[in-house]
Amino acid sequence: MLNRSSQPTSPQHMPMDALNEVLQDFRLSGVNYSRCELRHPWSVALPQQPLLRLHFVSKGPCWIHTEEQGWQELHDGDVVLLPQGIAHRMASAPDVAGDSLTGAQITPLGSNVSEVVREGTGATSILFCGSMTLGACALYPLVALMPPIIKGCDVVGNDPIVGPLLAALTAEIARPQMGSATILSRMGDLLAAQLIRCTVNCDRASTKGWLAAIRDAHIGRALAAMHRDPGYNWTLESLAGLAGQSRSIFAERFSTVLGEGAARYLARLRMQLARELLGQSGLSVAEVAARFGYASEASFARAFKRITNLSPGVVRRTIPGRIDMDFGL
């Protein structure tokens, strides 16, 4: 996203589907995955985390509990995604308490995939669980608008990909073999990305907010352009031109749908991306400032501090927090 030409795209060359334009840089990266064989009774509490979580039930029994929706039973072949990584509990039955992973046998299968086995006398649950990160901060508005818990059966509908993918995942989980760690990891990333896309496509009722804006025939073109080339010197006039509207109509419509003006939105987008670059790329503050169109490091630092409440130097010097192995659960 950040390495493309800074020349804006003329309106006649903008894609009709602005959502696809924004999602073209969409990517997930698995942090931890686990293939779990857990004998009833088992239960584990999973705290809030900044990563997405995915659970696929190859074989039950399995239940999931969230504060918002309470206990829900998951059946064989069910998959759930928690886009914001909210706190929840997984268990073989609602009345099982405590942390049952203590004493479980954990065997690494690859660099980011482990096998978790808990012996017992009850029925065996076979799960595939994972934590993953979103590759671009620019898509955080999309994730923030999603339901806290997404059940695959509620959103996939007639999707031609998810069904065969789940069948292949079930087969791979049932018969681990050479290369399974890599294949399971790639399947997990693909499954989560597909669920997010299905959720976006299913949510057609939004009249305000980011999803409504990106689907708007006019606002969507301008929004996609900002996401595609956030460092360009966008003005209200140039964005209105992309939208095919007058300056006043565009400004009013943008604020009505998104709840803030285009300039404020663009500034927040730039700082989200700048924070990602400062924390991960090794670029200097001056280099990041120039990438986002700021004439001086000082002006960039002021804008960054105003929006993030942090100085860019602090973010650049901070070592990213260690992500503890949680066996993918």
Amino acid making up residue 125: S
- Tell me what the pLDDT averaged over the chain comes to: 83
Phi, psi of 229 (to 5 degrees): -140, 70
- Quote the pLDDT of residue 155: 80
Mean pLDDT for the stretch of residues 110-130: 90
Q: Write down the residue that tokens 């608008």 correspond to.
A: 145
136 confidence band (pLDDT: 50, 70, 90): low
Confidence (pLDDT) at 133: 83
Q: Is the pLDDT of residue 317 over 80?
A: no
CA dihedral 234, 280, 323, 54 (to 10 degrees): 40
pLDDT in tens, 73-98: 999 999 999 999 999 999 999 999 88
b/e sequence 49-69, b meaning 16+ C-beta within 10 Å: bebbbbbbbbbbbbbbbbeee
Model confidence at 137: pLDDT above 90: no
Q: Compute the distance between CA of residue 182 and CA of residue 38 in angstroms, rounded to an integer.
A: 22
> What confidence score (pLDDT) does residue 207 get?
66
- The domain locations on the chain are 11-24+207-317, 28-202
Residue 130 has pLDDT above 80, yes or no: yes
Paired with 46 in beta bridges are 88
Q: Global pTM?
A: 0.73
146 forms bridges with which residues in the sheet? none
User: What is 28-202's CATH number?
Assistant: 2.60.120.10
* Cβ neighbours of residue 10 closer than 8 Å, sequence gap 6 or more: none
CATH class given for the domain over 11-24+207-317:
mainly alpha
Question: In Å, how far from its chain's centre is CA 38?
Answer: 28
Q: How far apart are CA 8 and CA 18, in angstroms?
A: 15
